Amino acid sequence: MIHMKTFLYILLVAGLCSLMAWVVFSRWFTRDPFLIFILIVLFVTPNLGTIWMLYVSVRFEKSPLPFALLAFVPYSFIWYYFQRVRPGRVART
């Protein structure tokens, strides 16, 4: 059974990935500097989140392989932060 929080994370990731796909595959183009900045943030954030999630999971998890593989799903670091890191479930050594 999927919990409501997990469903919301899946919905958020699917929405952000759909937006990214729409930007890449559509013929839409903007010259507005603010929208260009938002698009840069939209495309850079999953990469930085992946690097952070790999670092934290390899360093602090007892079994890091599932989390290291999950890190390559775009925006999965959001789930990892709110479900594992923020509540203190990652063991600090």
31 within 8 A of 60, measured Cβ to Cβ: no
Q: Please determine, for residue 91, whether its predicted confidence score (pLDDT) is greater than 80.
A: no
Per-residue pLDDT, averaged over 46-58, amounts to 94
- C-alpha to C-alpha distance for 37 and 33, rounded to whole angstroms: 6
Mean pLDDT of 20-47: 93
Place of tokens 């670092």: 55
pLDDT band at residue 89 using 50, 70 and 90 as cut-offs? low
Task: Report pLDDT digits (tens) over 60-70.
Answer: 889 999 999 99
Torsion angle, CA of 25/48/66/72, rounded to 10 degrees? 20
* CB within 8 Å of 92: residues ≥ 6 apart: 60
In the chain, where the domains are located: 4-85
